[in-house]
Amino acid sequence: MPAKSTQAPLPPWGSALAGATGAVLANAIVYPLDIVKTRLQVQVKRKSTDAAPLTTNDAHYKSSIDAMRKILVDEGVTGLYSGINGSLIGVASTNFAYFYWYSVVRSLYLSSQTAPQSPGTAVELWLGAVAGAVAQVFTIPVSVVTTRQQTQLKGDKRGLLDTGREVIHSDDGWSGLWRGLKASLVLVINPAITYGVYQRQREMLFPGKVNLRPWESFVLGAASKALATIMTQPLIVAKVGLQSRPPPARQGKPFKNFVEVMSYIVEHEGLLALFKGLAPQIMKGILVQGLLMMTKERMEILFVVLFAYLRKIRDTKLQQAANRATARTKAVLPVVAK
């Protein structure tokens, strides 16, 4: 029977900060893959009978490697990092909110149980979905702006704030910053599946183990993310279509919902096109999730050590203050007695 750990649990904000830090580092490393998968997902194959281009970009990408090569030729290395500032802000805020609310709802659930036991798979998925939904409501505007930045043409590159103003001044107005919210709320099943599967795999493969090795966290995170991505890819493609500029063939008319985006894609490219960009999406997801969970585990250990050190300093100062107060009291007592 594994020994119980005496390691103090992190508060929700500590777990959130660890998760956000890991997510920012992981996404910064693999950001070019994010650009490639977004460009692949917004393009629509053009037929000879089409009167106008069906995509927001003149270049047509045949594969991930072809997309990366053409972006480098047309836009340079900076083209692979278009919108990175907004993306990392979005990643930090989304993951902080997710891990914070996940820690909160999970702690509330565990405290409500009469007998202490680990949540089952269904409960883990539900907890993850609740946390993801709350996080999306507050952070989706950054996602909308970032998607617009990633699909802007070479001569029409704009900063984070300018792109945000463009969205606000469109027909949607301020509500345009929440385009794709319904799809995003449905997509909370992606992180819910990811973290639910991760927790179950961890409990089955490493029962009672408090801190995993980096490679163990990486493998579990990568496997759980790959499964979640395959299951939700059509919704991911539809969400990108909702948040990017409408194709020229629609004459500026934006999509109303993700069902309309999916119907448009199937009509022009077929059913399998709902899985376009799957390779870079999975590759990015595996690397990000693996690095995120590996980094988050390390960051949590660092935060636990840091909090323990701060508590020790606080206790020492309190003890010193108490000793000084006692000494002063003893010095005053003889005078009072006289």
The two structure tokens encoding residue 336: 């009072």
Dist CA 75 CA 70 (whole Å): 8
pTM of the model: 0.61
pLDDT of 231 reads 85
Q: Are 165 and 124 in contact (CB under 8 A)?
A: no
pLDDT of 74 reads 87
Dist CA 311 CA 194 (whole Å): 34
Average pLDDT, the chain: 77
Dist CA 294 CA 207 (whole Å): 18
pLDDT of 121 reads 66
Dihedral sign for Cα atoms in the order 323, 329, 333, 335: positive
Closest by Cα among 264, 238, 103, 126 to 192? 126
The two structure tokens encoding residue 30: 């693999």
Closest by Cα among 197, 192, 264 to 234? 264
Cβ neighbours for 94, distance < 8 A, ≥ 6 positions apart: 23, 135, 136, 139, 142, 143
Low-confidence ranges of the chain (pLDDT < 50): 1-7, 338
Dist CA 239 CA 187 (whole Å): 9
Reported as type and span, the H/E element at residue 319 is helix 278-337
Using left for φ > 0, alpha for ψ between -120 and 50, and beta otherwise, residue 207 falls in beta
